[in-house]
Each structure stands twice: as structure tokens, then as C-alpha cells.
Structure 1
Amino acid sequence: MISFLALAFAVVLVTGLVAAPTPKAAAAESCGEQARPIAEQDGVSLRDGLPVLFIHGIRSDRGHWTDNKLESFHRRLREKPGVKLWTFDYSSANTQWVTHDSVGPAFARAIDCLSGLAGRSIVVVAHSMGGLVTQFAQAQTASDGRGIARRIASVVTVGTPFKGSDLLSVAQGVHVPVSKPLLGELNAVLSACRLVGRKCDVQLLLDKPVGRALRTNSEQLRALPAWPEDLPVRPIAGDIVYRFKMNLFVYHHEADIVSIGDPYVSVKSATAHRVMAEENVRKCDDVGVFRVWEVFSSSCGHSNLKRREDVQDEILDAVSEVAGQPAGTVYFSRYDPATYRAGFYAKTGARPARRIAEGTGRLSPDGRYRAEVDTSGDGPARLIVEDLDRGVRQRLADGANGHGLCNEPEWTPDGKYILFQQTPNTGRGPGQWARVEVATGAATLLAAHSGCYPVYAPDGQSIAWYDGLNPRPGRSTVLITDADGGNGRHVPAIGGVDDPCANAVAALSSGGRLALVEASHPGERACGDGPGRQVHDGLVVDTSTGRPIPLPVPGPVRGGVFLSDGGLLVQPAGAAEFVLLDRNFQIKATFRGGILAEGETIHGYSSF
């Protein structure tokens, strides 16, 4: 039996990982030599598409995923709207460990580039060690200073040795906690290499960095960064089950079952990491002594898994799931009137919302920082900035203490400055504001007195303010100024109806042309100390006329933000969802799950 097994396996080990020639394809958009499209992409730009990036394993190249036998699989993927197929090749360093610059760091750069061109996060499909390369890459830093994990919507791994390879460990004389029958099978594989008189893939890796790193539960594997809790990782494993059977006339014998994985990677190793997904084990029929060669020609074999229709279906499901989800991340807060504090959240696509901070104030446009005004005590108000990634708080500046009124901070769209009130309001007019540099704390006073609760336009050239100190017939309480606070103009009465108190402003478009404001309800509310940025019966209006602009959502909106591309993100009143509109105010996507119908305040939106 061993000779059959050894000889058959030797053939597979010598030839099984040879890659198919790579089809030559031209690409209008480039992310370097290592990342290329699988085939001509019909001249369609990556912008607003969904890149699916395939990565190969050890002693292989991009040919693993460009195999001609996968053409129907590629075609099924391309039938998904916007899907673009790319491969990453690290064959020049495929015996190096993932930390080599041409492997993990280069893959992180490719993800950063492709997601940047597409303007959204991508799907990664990884074979074998490609999954470990992905695990390393997702923890690297993208061009925007955030983690690469934000640029990945979903990961599918096929035969990835998350806990190492028992086969490589046995070859190096390392003890592995496996059963005696399985240990016998692994030793038979190594004997096969000597039988054919030439080295097999396993032997070629023994003295290489990757060979040492892939020992079962090695130090290098333990040092890999953890997967984020909200990044879906779908592991797929092959499981070939061997059962010794003999039927000779009246003699019948059946030995114990031996599960040998794919057999380079055990099922336990290939499914060791899964996040927000079920493990997918592809089992193949039992193999007996007289059909032992089927172990190595099996569709559950390490290099053959990709050709299985059910494996391809699993990859298609992952891509379809992402394609059907809204792209990007919404940053919002949820106020708790019992504590006068808010929880701050990030919701990416269809994933559950993540709580990222607690307190008061505003999130930066990229969700990395929180600015708050500390008004405790009778002294000056203190502008505090918290780095949410590092948990570090910094006092930037002191200013007017309105005890939570008027002086709410506002970030510039580039996240480099914060508007902060320096002097208090008086009966004659609003106090003076300053633009505080986040990096240094340096404060520069605006040229003119303006109002309260400022809101920047996405282009940073205009600011909307609440100004209820000097009400006049025919105009609202919404004031639009230049970035320095000058050249102020009031928006005419909203919908032609005067309301001297409650026209809050929640968002302003580039150029100051449109604003999301509270509808006029004269006499229904006391003026009080101003409405803040909250809108409950919100309308988008033309700031030159005060006339409402219809939106494709039912009823009024509770809040929103204008985007730099002219789009708008809103929460319809009474709806547990956020709706993303394009520049023509057509529905582009809807975020659902983990959102309340009331109490949410949208702070920003990122395409990743």
C-alpha cells in the first residue's frame, strides 16, 4: 500500500503546483507590475467597480488563478455588475515569508491602489499561503493613514495553512500532534520523494524562509496580526478521507478512517480562522487501497480545489454579497438623554455598526478623531481632541464657555483644522470663532463674527451657521459665509415661511448652493438657546431661494451630510436606515442593520 501511495503522491508533488501560462492583458489603469487584470476588462474603468483580487500560494504564480479551465468561472464572476478580476503575483519571492517587501507589503500596496482606483473596498480570494499574505497585509497602513483592512470588504481563503503544514513539519523532524495512521501517511509522502529520485516541492522548501515559517504553530505564524472582528473571512478546506478496505472472497476487512486534509494542509489548519462566516469543508469520497491514486487526483487536492464548482459557488456568493451591499462607511452618533452623552459608531456596508467612542462633540471626516468642548467648571471651555486609534486625548485650545450652547466644534473637510468659538455671544451679536490647527493647536481668528453651530461645505469654501440673534421677516436663521466667516448672506425663509427660532442647519453642499435645514414651524417651539445641528423635519433647500428640493425618500429627513462628489447621505425620518444619494439625488445604496429610527446623528461618510 505504501508504495502505491508514495509513487502517486510523488507525481503530484513534482507537478501539482506548476502554474498555467498567464493570458496577456492590457490595462488602462495600473497598480504596478505585480497586480494585473486577469483578462481584458472591456475598457471599463475601475471607478465605481468592484475589484476581485486573486492571490496564489507557495511555489506558484498568477497562473494558478488564470488557468484556462477557469474561464467559465471567470465569466460567471464578470456577469456580476461592475466586477473586475485582478491577480497579484509574488512568484519572484514565493519561497520568502510574508514579511518580505515583495510579498506582504507589496500586496498591501496593491490593495491600497486598486481600492483607491475603484473608490471602494475590494474582495480578496487567496489560495494557500496567499491567505497568510492577506492576513499580514490587512494590518499594514494605507495611503490615507488608516489600516488596509478598511480597504477589504471580504476575504475568501482556499487551503490556507493558518496553523502551518503538518507535512512540512514532519519533513523537518518537528513533532506534530497527529494520529499514528496520519503520521504514517505523511511519512509515506516523504518516502515518495526518494523513490522517484528527485526532489519534490516539500523538499525544496525545507531550507527556505517559508518552509521554516510554515511549521505547525510556528513562531512566525503566531506573530501574524489578528483579523479584525468585522472583516468577513470565509475559509475553504479540502478533506480527503482514506479508508483501508479489502474484500477477497469471504474475507472482508475495513480499517480506520484517516482524514488527510488536502493533503498539504489539514482541515483544522485551513479553517483555524473564520470571521463572520461558516467554515466550508469540501469532503471527497473514501479511497481504498486499490484506488489509492484517487487521493492525489482528487478534486479536494490542494491545487485542485479551485476547479470544484461548489468552491467556485462559494467565491461567487462572497462576491455577490459584497456587490449587493452599500459601499463605504457611515460615521454616526446616538445620543442618550439620560447621560447627556453619545455613543459614536462606524457602519461599513452591511456589517454591524461598531462602537468607536463615547462622549460628546464631532467626529473627524475620516472617523479617526473626536473633537469635544469641555465646559465643566466656570473657567474657559477647553477644546479636546481624542485619537480614537490610539486612545490619546490632547487639549488643543481654550475658548468661550457657553456650557454646551453655541460652541460646538466643527472639522474642516481635510481634518486639519477645527472651528472653535473664542469669545461668547452678546446681546449685540455672536461671539468670534477661530480655526485651530490640529497638529499644533495654533488658533487663527475668523475675519468676521458669524453665528453658532457651524457646518462646513465639502469643498471647505463655505460655512453654514445658525443665526437666531437678529431675526427679520423674509429670511431664515441660516447664515452662509465664506471660509473666513465673511460675505455672509441669510437663506430666505424656508419654503416662504418665517420662523425666527428653529431653522437649524445640518449640512451644506459645495459652493454653498444647497443646505439641509429644519423646516419652518412658527409658534410651535420656543426659541430657547438655539436648535444645534439637529433637524427633525429636515428639507434640502436652494440657499438662494429657500425653496425645497425634492428627495427620493418618503417624508422629511432627520439628518445628513453632503459629499464632495455632490452626493448626499440622509436618514429618512422614522426609518432605521441611511440612504446614499448620487449627485443627481438618485438612490445609490441603503445602509441597514444596527441603526435606530430615532436618535442618530450622521457625522460623515467615507468610501472605505
Structure 2
Amino acid sequence: MTTVRKERSLAVAVVLSVLLAGGLVAYQAEQAVAAPEPQDCEDIAGLDKAPALADDLRPGGDPVTESTLQDGTAIPVVMVHGWTGRSQHSSERTGAFSAAIDLTVDESSDFDGLPTSLIGAIQGVGGVSVYTFDYHDLSSRWVTDDGIGPPLAESLTCLATAYGHPAITVAHSMGGLATRAALGQIADDGSLSGPGDYVSDVITYGTPNTGSDVARFLVDFQEGLASMEGMPDAETATALHSFMVICGTAVTESMEDPSACGSIPTLAASAGSDAVHGLATGSDEVTALPAWPEGVNVHAYAGDITASFSVGAWFLDVYESSRASIGDIVVPRSSALDGADSTLVNECAYEVDFDLLGPLPGLGGDVLWPVSGYQSGCFHGNLMRTIELTDSTTSIIGEIVQEAQGIIASGFPADLAGQWCSRQDPDLECFSVTGLLEEFPGAFLESSTESPDTPGAQRYFICLADDLGDSCSMAATMILEYYPVGVEWNCEEFAAADGWPGCDPDYTEAHDVTQPRLTIIPNHQHNQSFVDVEPLYRS
């Protein structure tokens, strides 16, 4: 325990030296055939379609453009920024995901940058439609605030429903916690199906899943100031405490109009905000957030800086050395990776020698630190600029697109994409086109038509084996009925209209019209009553 406490103490001390040396500032650049856009989602607060910028270029020099999947649909991707940040993508490039990809952690690499941003790189994958969720004005509030978690949940459910594909979320820092809050809200909403129906994958950059030690220091510092009454420096402590409380309250209300604190640097003014209290390691707020839900693939990225310090006098040949792992300076490595299904870490090692008789730190290894730390590919605000992590992001999204394209290319519509499972019977085998093709490699979509039984539903006939040469017998045919959102099923009404005495069983109540559904229709009906089948939901 003593060793751990010393190491953490040293790490916090190193972080404080960085804050004093240069300020905790995320990188911001100097100001200086499209996927379909659903109209239903355009009025959600904070949600905007990311434009393709003219100076986001492909490797060959052509401007990046979005394109659809082969069936004209696209997979929605939502970018979510962190504390005090922005997501909006514009030519000013002040957004967290808008800076050029210009860093690498491979010192032996001759990489000199890409002419595009992370958003541009994702747009260039094809088959996606990129959106930004920007809550900058409220970003000093905690993620469960009515202006953050709920509208993000609404954005994800709306886009997934409108596009017919689960969304992908790419989040930086506190944006990952906002995504956790949103997914938890979806899970708790009885009118919605599981979170995995709306979000297939989440990619996080430096998300403090268990909190930030820097935020913990700021909270403890503020509380320490409040307890100094009667001590020699009480007046100074009271003034600092008042500043943190007043400005923290102001920016929590609005980042855009922090009243008297408007002339104070944003991050300093935000030090006493609700967000910082929630971000603190071990806080009640971060502990209370729901864990990443089942059915959502979480890919977590982290930065991990190992700093070595030597202090001494050259003429005495006496040096004391210390070594600390400080994560990405803001978020510890373990916190950024907590709960993830897959992880990737940018690792950097820096050395600096302090000569007691010298005016400046000496160069150790290849880098002078902490000055270079702000241009490091391991620094919290720079993770989205590194080729290692951005390449991984586009690879993950590319694989998701390829899977969707593969289903479409094999002749099956996007309506059937994904895995469809029972809500009532966990032992019932799920259905997916991918699984079907593994079991029946020669299966193909023979025909489709509007359902003769339910207006608005679509019926698909899948040939499992062409036992008749150029077609399939009914015995070798699978019949699927797809119900889009809003299409109802009433078994008793159908049975009466079709001449059946009734339904046994009757799964009418199992149909949630707010969600797409799929039923596997029996090839033959042998019972006196109509045999209804349970609806499956995309999972």
C-alpha cells in the first residue's frame, strides 16, 4: 500500500507541474455521393450533421466525401466531445475531432501527417453518415443533466431507427461517460428495446470510467481551502475557495455566459464545476453511472506517459531518480480502459534531468519534457491526432461497414441485418443472416413482397436449398415477416378476416410497435386455431 500511495502522490505532483508549466489545454487548431439525412432527428438539441470539409483530403488528394451502402442506407456515427470541449466540425477546426491527424508515438516512423481529421477519415470509410453531438454550453455539468444524457439517448435511438442500422459512437473523455449515461437511459426506458439495438459499438478516447486523479486533486484542493479558517493563510485560502465556488457555479450554469468569470481561462473557471466533482476519481457521480451494457462492443483507447526524473549536481555525480506512470496526464490508463471489450494504448516514455546548479532541465533521452508533453501522442487532448488510434478507429468502423455490405451484396436487404432474438424466451435461438449463410452457404433471397396479412410489413422468401433446380420447394423455404417501426400486428383481427376461429398462441401483446420486429412464419398451419409466432427484436 505504501508503494502505491507514493507512486500516486508522485504522479499527481508531476501532473501539477505540467498544469503550472503550460496549462491543461486540449489541442485546438488555429482558427483559420452523401448519405441520407433523416428529417426526424434534425431538431434534437446538440445533434448536427458533420459536413465534409474541402480540406479534409483522401491520400490521393481528392476531397473526402460520404457515400452510402449499396442499398442506399448508411450507418450513423455520432461524435461526442468531453469536458469544456466541442464536437462541431467546421473550417475553424476547434472541435475535438477536427484537428489533422499529425502525430505518432513511433519514434522510428517517418510519418509526417495525413491531410485529414478523424471525422474526415471516418467519412472516407464510406457507408457511414457522421454526426456530431455538441453540448459545449452545458459541458461543465454532470453527464446525467437533462441537456446531456437524455438528448444524446434520443439522438442515438432516432438515428438508428431512421437509418435502419445501429449507430456507432466515438467519444472523447467525458463524452464516453455521457454515452454510458445515454445507454443506461435507453436500457431503463420500458418503451425501448435493449441498447444494443441502437448502438453496436462505442469507441472511447481517454474516457475516465473510474474518474480522473487531476479532478480528484481539484476537488480535494477546494475542500482543503474551505477548512483553513483561522490558519495563517486563511484570507488567501478563503479568496481562492470563493473563486472556485463562484466561477464553478457560473460555468456549470453556462459555458457561454459565465458572468463575472468570463475573463478567466475556461479550464480555470471550470475547476469548481459540477463536472469536475463528478469526474473526480471515486466520486459518487461516476460510481453511480451504469456500466457499459451487454450487447454493445466497447473499444477503449488510452495514453500512458511514463516520466523519469533525475535531480542532482553534476560535479558531485549524485542523482536521485523517480519514475511515474501518469496516464495521458489527465486520465489514468486503468480508468480509460476499465470495462472495455478491446483496448489499445499509446505509450510514451520521457526523461528529464534537473541539475541543481543549472538554470533549465537538461535533455534526457530524445525529448525535453514536460514542454514536449503537449505535442505528445500520449497526451489527453492529442489522442485523436495520432495515426495509431485513428487507424484503429477507421478499421473498426470499416469492418462494421463490410459486414453490412456483405449481407446486402449477398442479396439480403438491410432490413434483415443484425441478430434477432426473443425478448421473452432467452433459450430461443437467435436469427441472423450471417448465421443462416454459415449453416446454408447456398441460401439466397428468392423473392419479397408486401405482406398479404399486414399492411406495411414485408415478407421475404429465402431459398435454403434449390431442390427444384432453379427454385425451392416450400419445404426448403424460410419465410420471414419484417415489421417496420409503427406497423402493428393483431392476431385476432387477422384470424377473423382469414377464417380462423382464433389464435393459439397469440403474441399480439409481444409486438412493440416502437421497434422493428421479425417473425419466422411456419411453412404450414395444421392446427384448428391459427398458430401465431413470437416476434424477434434486433439485439
Q: Equivalent residue for 1:38?
A: 50
Paired residue for 2:380, among 294, 299, 302?
A: 302
Cα shift at 1:116: 2.0
Aligned to 1:245: 310
Deviation, structure 1 residue 67? 2.7
What is the 5 A alignment of 1:212-361?
Answer: 212-245=277-310, 248=314, 251=317, 253=319, 255-275=321-341, 277=342, 279-289=343-353, 290=361, 291-292=368-369, 293-326=371-404, 328-331=417-420, 343-346=427-430
Do the aligned partners of residues 27 and 345 (structure 1) sit closer, same or farther apart at CA in structure 2, a change above 3 Å counting?
Answer: closer
In structure 2, C-alpha distance between the alignment counterparts of 1:80 and 1:607, rounded to whole Å: 25
Name the structure 2 match of 1:50: 75
Letter in 1 for 2:207: T
Partner residue of 2:196 out of 149, 153, 157: 149
For residues 225 and 154 of structure 1, the distance between their equivalents in structure 2, rounded to whole angstroms, comes to: 16
How high is the TM-score relative to the length of structure 1?
A: 0.51
The residue correspondences of 1:396-435 to structure 2 (distance < 5 A) are 414=487, 416-418=489-491, 432-434=501-503
Give me the whole-angstrom Cα distance separating, in 2, the residues matched to 1:174 and 1:123. Answer: 38
Counterpart among 80, 84, 93 of residue 125 in structure 2: 80
- Residue 167 of structure 1 aligns with an amino acid whose one-letter code is V
Per-residue deviation, 1:131 = 0.3
Alpha-carbon offset, residue 71 of structure 1: 1.7
> For 1:59-74, what aligned pairs fall within 5 Å after superposition?
59-62=84-87, 63-68=95-100, 71=116, 73-74=118-119
What is the aligned partner in structure 1 of residue 171 from structure 2?
126
Task: Give 1:36's aligned amino acid.
Answer: D
The structure whose residues are more often helix, as a share, is: 2
Q: Aligned-pair RMSD on alpha carbons?
A: 4.8
Find the partner of 1:102 among 117, 134, 147: 147
Pick closer, same or farther for the CA change 1:4–1:324 going to 2, 3 Å. Answer: closer
Letter in 2 for 1:96: R
> Which residue in the other structure is 1:161 paired with?
208
| Contact residue 37 and residue 85 of structure 1 kept, 8 A | yes
Query: 1:127 Cα shift?
Result: 0.1
Q: Does structure 1 conserve the Cα–Cα contact (< 8 Å) formed by 2:306 and 2:350?
A: yes
User: How far 1:113 moved relative to its partner?
Assistant: 1.9
Contact 1:112 1:151 in 2 (8 A): yes
Secondary structure at the aligned position of 2:403 is classed as: coil
Q: CA deviation at 1:270?
A: 0.9
Matches within 5 A, 1:502-513: none
Pairwise CA distance, 1:342: 9.4
Shift in CA distance, 170/74, structure 1 to aligned 2, threshold 3 Å? closer
CA–CA distance in structure 2, aligned partners of residues 35 and 225 of structure 1? 23
Corresponding position of 1:172? 219
Q: What is the CA distance between 1:126 and its match in structure 2?
A: 0.4
Aligned mates of 2:492, 2:207 — CA distance in 1: 49
Counterpart Cα distance in 1 of 2:209 and 2:426? 39
Alignment partner of 1:111: what SS? helix
Amino acid at match of 1:273: G
Distance 1:350 1:251 in 2: 67
* Whole-angstrom CA distance in 2 between matches of 1:113 and 1:167: 36
CA contact (8 A) 1:53 1:87 kept: yes
**Residues 478-517 of structure 1: pairs in structure 2 closer than 5 A:** none
| Structure 1 pair 343–67 and aligned structure 2 pair: CA distance change class (3 A) | same
1:144-195 CA distances to partner (integer Å, 9 max, x unpaired)? 62234321111111010111111111122279xxxxxxxxxxxxxx9xx99x
Rounded Cα–Cα distance in structure 1 between residues aligned with 2:135 and 2:536: 34
Alpha-carbon distance in 2 for matches of 1:163, 1:54: 21
**Contact 2:85-2:96 within 8 A present in 1 as well:** yes
3-state DSSP of counterpart to 2:144: coil
Give the stretch that moved more between structures: 283-292 or 69-78: 69-78
Q: Does 1:13 align with 2:23?
A: yes
The worse-fitting range, judged by mean Cα deviation, of 66-75 and 83-92 is 66-75
Q: What SS does the aligned partner of 1:345 have?
A: coil
Partner of 1:311, secondary structure, is: helix
User: Secondary structure of the equivalent of 1:344?
Assistant: coil
Distance 2:127 2:77 in 1: 10
Measured after TM superposition, the shift of residue 316 of structure 1 is 1.4
Q: Give the match for residue 136 of structure 2.
A: 91
Identify the structure with bigger relative contact order (alpha carbons < 8 Å, sequence gap 6+): 2
For 2:98, give the aligned amino acid.
Answer: T
In 2, the alpha carbon distance for the partners of 1:348 and 1:324 equals: 16
- Using the TM superposition, give the Cα deviation of residue 94 of structure 1 relative to its aligned residue in structure 2, in angstroms: 0.5
CA contact (8 A) 1:325 1:349 kept: no
Q: Sort the Cα spacing of 1:307 and 1:43 in 2 relative to 1 into closer, same or farther, 3 A.
A: closer
Q: Deviations over 1:30-65 (max 9, x none)?
A: 433522222249585695212221110000111111
Change (3 A) 1:603 1:19: farther
Helix, strand or coil: the match of 1:283? Answer: strand
Secondary structure of 2:390's match?
helix
CA contact (8 A) 1:38 1:66 kept: no
Say which SS state the counterpart of residue 272 (structure 2) adopts: coil
**Structure 2 counterpart of 1:242, one-letter code:** A
Q: Does 1:139 align with 2:212?
A: no
Is the alpha carbon distance of 1:342 and 1:208 closer, same or farther for their aligned partners in structure 2, counting shifts above 3 Å? closer
| CA 72–226 in structure 1, closer or farther in 2 if over 3 Å, else same | closer
**Contact in 2 for aligned 1:35/1:86 (Cα 8 Å):** yes
Rate the CA distance shift 1:165–1:201 in 2: closer, same or farther, 3 A: farther
CA contact (8 A) 1:168 1:202 kept: no
Partner of 1:521: none
Distance 1:345 1:204, change over 3 A: farther
Separation (CA, whole Å) in 1 of partners of 2:157 and 2:433: 18
Say if 1:164 and 1:215, in contact at 8 Å, map to a contact too.
yes
In 2, the alpha carbon distance for the partners of 1:35 and 1:252 equals 58
In 2, Cα distance between the equivalents of 1:153 and 1:168?
A: 30
User: How far is the alpha carbon of 1:26 from its aligned partner?
Assistant: 12
Instruction: Give how far 1:132 is off.
Output: 0.3
Pair 1:211 & 2:211 matched: no
CA 1:431–1:49: 2 relative to 1, 3 Å: closer
Q: Which residue in 2 is equivalent to 1:444?
A: none
Q: From the superposition, tell whether residues 312 and 122 of structure 1 become closer, same or farther in structure 2 (CA, over 3 Å).
A: same
TM-score by length of 2: 0.57
Q: Tell me which protein shows more strand as a share of its residues.
A: 1
Deviation at 1:331, TM superposition (A): 3.4
Structure 2 gaps, min length 5: 1-9, 53-63, 88-94, 102-114, 223-239, 245-262, 354-360, 362-367, 405-413, 436-479, 511-516
- Residue identity matched to 2:490: Y
Aligned length: 371
Alpha carbons 2:66, 2:129 under 8 Å: kept: no
Is the 8 Å Cα contact of residues 19 and 61 (structure 1) preserved in structure 2?
no
Query: One-letter code of the match for 1:329?
Result: G
Single out whichever of 77-86 and 32-41 deviates more from structure 2. Answer: 32-41
